[in-house]
Structure 1
Amino acid sequence: MASSRDQKCYLCGNDLFDPINRDHVPPRRFFAPEIRKQFAVQLITLPTHAACNERWRLDEEYFVHTLLPFARGSISGDALWRDGIARFTRGENVPLANQVLKEFQHVVGGVILPANRVAKRIDPDRAHDVIYKIARGLHYHHHGEILPPLWNCHFTITPPGEPPPEVFTVLTDANLLNSRGSYQGVFAYSFHKFPEMNDLHVWAMLLWDRIIVTLIFHDPACKCEDCTFIGPVLPHSGV
């Protein structure tokens, strides 16, 4: 018998009705085929409306592609890179791959970067949506609570070789990060809630043992000025 928490779609918050499918959390696309085969990967899945789940497919594909150059250097990252090259060779996702290539820049704000440096742009709205979707899915999995589809969040993406954001360092120094995840070489995560700070939610994720992602937002029941009077706003990125 399905539990009450399985009677709603965590993406839209409405009662489930056919057609229904199951959403992988984190996205199955994070795992290269050879990794899925080697470890017989069994991900968390949550019931969703098929249409709700489909809405995120292209954003998740973009998210993986735009971070793929930074994933190289680990077992899972190299496997994902090989899969990306194989897909491109087969003629798959060619427009998306070309779009990501255009996100690399040698000139930023009129300043020419040194020959050994390059800047990488990332679409902040699409990255935010995927990161927040993952947090929403895991929050629902752990607590049975559906977070609002739109909310005021701040996120950072830290590539290899760059210092992590201050919030990540603070949590690490205070031993507040409890790493979770069945396949932490691909995706590890931790979360902590600070009741004394307007029920601040802080999430930290490690992708492919290479990329640190943080996400910060207030509890949906928060009554602070920002949440009560401003409400959901456009996402802003620390990328």
Structure 2
Amino acid sequence: MAEPRRSSRVASRGNAASNGTAASTIASTKAAAPAAAAAAPKAKAKRPAASADADDKTSAAADETASKKSKPTPAAAASASSGVLTVGSPLPSLSLITTSDAKVDPSTFRKTVIFTYPRANTSGCTTQAKAYRDAYDKYTDAGYAVYGLSNDGVTPLKNWKDKLGIKFELISDPKRDLVGALTGSKDKTRRSHFVIDEDGKLALSKLSVKPPESSSDALAFIQKSNK
């Protein structure tokens, strides 16, 4: 058999070298790809940290702002409590209706006991009112008038008064104007009692009392003051 020509051998060697270079390039590319892929997550991993820091700062700023908003300023706190009558304060001038359909102005009260109750004709309020009813003569002997006060309407108060045989008047305060001034809340009526002195000023303020103790406590204060 005849040997291949020199030119054919050279071409064959060239092709082999070319194929080897190509194979080497492909292998190098494949080897580099995982390395690049491995390096990519590291670069991305830094972003969440920066993002988390930013989120933490934003959250902290929001918490600080919310905290500042939730804390009342001294002026706001003073304003919230400025409407509550304290001992030594005169009663406000208001026009309220009693169970005898008469208008009364609390600012004119002298030597008067006022007891407040949540709702007429309920168990606790009935117990409280009966105690004042039973001690009524003792109040008048000491020179004091007695009024019951709630935000009930005049009609249910009249019915309740007749049912219990109460001699003193009950005052209807539908908007809780006087109730709010005495107890500090116009949202509800707290069971309490108050004593007004001979000068028309608040001498005793007892808030959130128990039904059977309200009258005895007010009467004891009056009797002690009269000595």
Answer yes or no: same fold by TM over 0.5: no
Larger proportion of helix = 2
Normalising by the smaller structure, the TM-score range is: under 0.3
Structure with higher Rg: it is 2
TM-score normalised by the chain length of structure 1: 0.23
TM-score normalised by the chain length of structure 2: 0.23
Larger proportion of strand = 1
